[in-house]
Every structure is written in C-alpha cells, then in structure tokens.
Chain A
Amino acid sequence: MKLPSPTRVLLYIVLILIAFLIVLPFWAGITTSLKTSIDVIYTIPVEPPPSPTFGPWMDALEVMGRPLLNSLTFTIFATIFSCIIGSINGYALSKIRFKGSDIVFMFFSLGIFIPYQTVLIPLVLTMSKLGLYNTLGALVLAHTAYGIPICTLIFRNFYKEIPDSLVMAAKTDGAGTWKIYRSILLPLSAAAFVVAGVLQFTSIWDDFLFGLILARGSEALPASVALANLRGTTTANWNVQMAGALWFALPVVIVYLVLGKYLIKGYMAGAVKG
C-alpha cells in the first residue's frame, strides 16, 4: 500500500517514536548498569553515565555467576532432550499411520495450554520423592517433560510438509522404521531443530516459576530466581540490579539477534508465553 509523501513522513515518525518507547526501559537499564552508585542517585536515569564503570556488572556477577552457570546447564540439557524426543514423536505422528494417531496428538497438544499452577503441588511432591528436589535434575526433568508437547507439535507439523512419497520410496528400497528416520528424515530436520531448539532455549532460560518452586535457595539456583533475589534484597542498588538483569538477558538477546527468524517461526507455531 502506497501512501503519499507527507503521510509517509508521519509514518516513520510514529514508528520511530514507538521504537523509542520500546527501547526506553532498556536504555535506562543499560545506562544505569554502567553508573557508579553515586551517579545513580545524582543523574537522571536516561542520562548516559558520566564516568562509566563495569563495577556493577562485576558485583552482579558475584551473585549471579553460579546461577547463570546453573541455568546454562539445565537449559541446554532440557533443550536437547525435549528436541530429540519431540523429533522422534513428530516422526511417529506424521509418517506412521496408526489408529489413535490423532488422539495421541491431541493428548500432547492439550499439555501446551495448562496453567502450571495446576500441577505445582504434585510437581514438588514428585521431585522430592525422586530425591531430585533442589537439584538441577529436577529442572531438567520438569522442563523436558513440559517441553515435549510443543516440540512434538513443531516437528510433527514440519514432517507433514515432507512428501509421503519419500517415506514410501525408502520403504520399497528396504528401509525399516528406524532407518527411515535416521537416513531420510533426520538429515532434513535441521531447520526444525533450530526452531524448536531456539524456542525451548529461550522459554526454559526465561522460566521463573519452576526455578522458584524446585530449586530456590540451593546450589541449583537458576539465574532467573537469583535475579529476582537481587531485586528483593537490594532495593536501592539499582545499578547492580540492572547489571544483573542484563547479564541474564545476554544469552537470549544473542540468540534473538542471531537466530531471530527461527525464534519467530517458533512463536508462530502456537507457542504460549508464561
């Protein structure tokens, strides 16, 4: 749709204005994180730091270093597990005809929508019974289990796009079920793995609730909870808080900038936040 010139100028003005408003909190956060404690008090937040320092970043890292490592660990493991499982499930549901295929798919799909409050109590009980309470294992298990539905959805829809004739050809060529997956479908799955992987990585990394319930105040503390703690205890040290938030944001921002278009595909697949 083409608009006449003055309207186009207005268009850009509006777009840029909104962009500013979106960026404002980040800008304020970044500038604040680079200020000394004194500057935080004496300058207005949107002003750039008069004498920038990475001090707050170092302070934040002291508190968040280990939690960041924790988050990285369980996020990577849970992402890998849920993607692999999702891929195999997606194969079974899209390329193998069997009665009940649709029912199983619905069974998984409903799992995407449940509010997690509904399963919190059983989740805690389960993890403590398994002896996993307050360990990274609990987070890996929980995130993998609850990640299976969305990963299955993504892979199943992806494999549906691959022509059935490829699978039929492989069968007449003598390939059995597993061989078909390994030699034909898997090599073609790269894009789906990236989409599911990126989606899972950001969702799991960003998660707060499970971390709060399953690993609060322990060796396995996730970065999200550590950041929340930072806010709770030090209401005045804004520079450290902002630095902490930015540390936590870093991996996701990198993923977002590098692999953003895959993340978008993941969002479009019906991903639900929170």
Chain B
Amino acid sequence: MLKEGMIALLILLPSIALVGYFVYASIGWNVIVSLTDWNTLKPSYNIIGFSHYAEILQDSTFWISFQNNLLLILLFVPSSILLGLFLAILLDNKVKGEGVFRTIYLLPFSLSFVITASLWAWMYDPSVGVINTLLQGIGLGFLKSGWVTDSGIAMYCIILALVWQFSGYTMLIFLAGIRSIPESQVMAAEVDGAHGFGLYRRVIIPQLKSSTLATFVILMVFALKAFDFIYILTFGGPGYSTFVLPLDMFRETFTMNHFAYGAAIATVLFVVVMAIVVPYLYTSSRRREA
C-alpha cells in the first residue's frame, strides 16, 4: 500500500508539471531567448550574451515606458488606496443601502479592461465624447481638452480611468479590514473619548497596516504589468507618451519581431516585479508564523 505522502505527490504531479513548464521553465526559456540574436520572424538561437540588455539602457522608448510605469506607481497606487479607504470609511457608517453602493462601486473592477477602455474611449473622445460635451453643456466648455489625444496629459487620463476601476477593489479590502476590528475595541475607544475622525485616525487606520501593505503590493504589481487597458485606449499614443513596459515588450516582439529584444524587456519587467513581490511574500509569511 502506497505511503500517503506518495499518493499526494502523485496527485500533485500533473499540476507541478504544468505549472513548472508554463511558469518556471517558460521564464527560463524567455531569459535564454533574451540572450540570443533572434530578431526576425525566423527563430534563431545563437547566444550573443547580454547585448540586448545594454541596448535597453540606450533605448529611449524603454525609458519613457519605464517612466510611465513609475508614474503609475506614484499616482495610480496611492490614489486608488486613498479613494478606497475613503469609500470604506464612508460605508462603515451603517449606511442604508450599503449593499447597493458596494455593488455599484465594485462593478468596474469585475469588468474586462477591454470594456472599460472602450467606455473611456467614448468618455475621452475630444469631439463627441461624454466629458467634453458634458463640460460644454454645463457651461464649462473652457475645460475641454484633447484628453488622451493630448500627449501632455494622456497618461494622467489613463491613471484617472484606472483609479475609477480599482477603487472598488481597494474599498473592499479596507472595508473587510475595518470590519475585522473587534467591536469591543471600538466601543472601548469611544468610551475613552475618541469619536469621529479621531477614532479612525488613532484606532482604526493603524490596524489596517497589513491590508494596506497587501493592497499596495498588488496594485504596484498591476502598475507594472498593465497592458490591456492602455493597448486598447491609446496603444501607447499619442506618439510614445503613454507607452508602458508591457506595451513596449509587445510591440518589439509581436509587431516588430524583435523577439530576443522583447524577451529582454520582459525579463527586466520580471525582475522588477519580483523585487517587489518576493520580499513582501517573505516578510508576510514570516509574520504569519510569528
């Protein structure tokens, strides 16, 4: 009779093989490709070392993309978190119809980026789009803008749309975090004289640290790998003003057939994401053990 542990491994073997191949082996394969000279439609596996990575350092498109990713991290992440926190605090007030509000706020997050990008394309269209005609209609016509057709502010328009999409998710996380604080603690604080905003600032928000951290990490990773939305809304345009790393990788690889170079960009992306995720996972599993 087989030892139980053997049975478990047998059960897990197919998945280990699948994940091992599609995730780990594929990552390795990608790194190898990045070291080859494969830059045309026909695969070529001559190893030429790290020259593509050197190229990257000189590539202005790469740096614009990287900048935009940083912009996402610096603007999109905190805004989504703050807005989500704000909404969670608002909803923590025994609001009538809380369920309805929650449903509405969370709806964008459940939808595909293709849908939301299409909707926002309509919102942002300079001539007949929602925002400009609305502004015109209420007499604020001077605020009209090219929005995503204006390379100066296109990236910010994207960030706004993404905050719109993600705030429901961050709200969800914070609401759960707030509600996990025992009622008795809040009551004790109220008896001690804390109420209103002070109650939140002193008692509740400090206990949301782990929720905040988790959300931060998840959103930062998204800020680095966001592709769908930008591809559909602007495809990196106007010019290169809304290019991001995943988009740069895609264009190099699948539009221009620079497979090895694209693989190098993908590897850089991978390293940056792992630099955020791995320390987080490590410290959070440590904390769980403690």
Considering the chains assembled together, what is the distance between the CA atoms of A214 and B262 in angstroms?
Answer: 17
Structural contact, A19 and B101, CB atoms closer than 8 A: yes
A228→B114 contact, CB < 8 A: yes
Shortest beta-carbon distance from B275 to chain A in Å: 12
Cα–Cα distance between A241 and B226 once the two chains are bound (Å): 23
B8 within 8 A of A: yes
Determine whether B27 belongs to the interface, using a CB cutoff of 8 Å to chain A. yes
Interchain CA distance A263-B111 in the complex, whole Å: 12
- With contact pairs A44-B133, A118-B269, A206-B112 given, residues A1 and B19 touching in the complex (Cβ less than 8 Å): no
A111 / chain B contacts, CB cutoff of 8 Å: 19, 23
B7: interface (CB < 8 Å): yes
For the complex, count residues of A whose C-beta is within 8 A of B: 96
Given A1-B93, A117-B225, A117-B227: A18 in contact with B87 (beta carbons within 8 A): yes
CA distance A11 to B110 in the complex (A): 26
Question: How far, in whole Å, are A69 and B231 apart by their CA atoms in the complex?
Answer: 24
Nearest CB of chain A from residue B177's CB, rounded to whole Å: 10
Contact present for A11 and B90 (CB under 8 Å): yes
Interface string of B169-195 (1 = CB under 8 A from A): 100110010000000001000000001
Contact A148 B224 (CB under 8 A): no
> Are B259 and A121 touching (Cβ within 8 A)?
yes
CB distance from B81 to the nearest CB of A (A): 15
Q: Are A145 and B176 in contact (CB under 8 A)?
A: no
- Chain A residues, Cβ within 8 Å of B111: 206, 249, 252-253
- Interface pair A241/B122, CB less than 8 Å apart: yes
Interface residues of chain B: helix, strand, loop or mixed (majority) = helix
A267 B172 Cβ-Cβ under 8 A: yes
Q: Check B122 against A205 for contact (C-beta < 8 Å).
A: no
Pair B114/A224 contact, Cβ less than 8 Å = yes
A88 to B9 CA separation, bound complex (whole angstroms)? 11
Given that A231-B232, A249-B115 are known contacts, is A117 also in contact with B164, CB under 8 Å in the complex? Answer: no
Given contacts A19-B105, A224-B114, contact A274 B222 (CB under 8 A): yes
From the candidates A120, A123, A248, name the one contacting B112 in the complex (CB within 8 A).
A248
Complex contacts, B29 vs chain A, CB 8 Å? 121-122, 125
- A207-244 at interface with B (beta carbon < 8 Å): 207-209, 212-213, 224, 227-228, 230-231, 238, 241-242, 244
Our pick among A1, A21, A25, A118 for the contact of B195 (Cβ within 8 Å) is A1
Return chain A residues, CB-CB under 8 Å to B231.
208, 212, 228
The CA of A268 and the CA of B171, in the complex, are separated in Å by: 11
Known: A25-B123, A107-B16, A117-B249. 15 other contacts (CB 8 A): A40-B128, A44-B136, A98-B5, A107-B20, A113-B273, A115-B266, A145-B21, A208-B114, A208-B227, A227-B115, A241-B118, A257-B103, A263-B110, A264-B106, A268-B176
Q: Which 10 A-B pairs have the closest CB atoms?
A: A98-B5, A206-B112, A115-B225, A122-B26, A119-B26, A96-B8, A208-B228, A25-B119, A118-B270, A122-B29
Residues of A within 8 A of B (CB): 1-3, 8, 11-12, 14-15, 18-19, 21-26, 28-29, 32, 40-41, 44-46, 85, 88-89, 91-93, 96-101, 104, 107-111, 113-123, 125-126, 142, 144-146, 148-149, 152, 177, 202, 205-209, 212-213, 224, 227-228, 230-231, 238, 241-242, 244-245, 248-249, 252-253, 256-257, 260, 263-264, 267-268, 270, 272-274
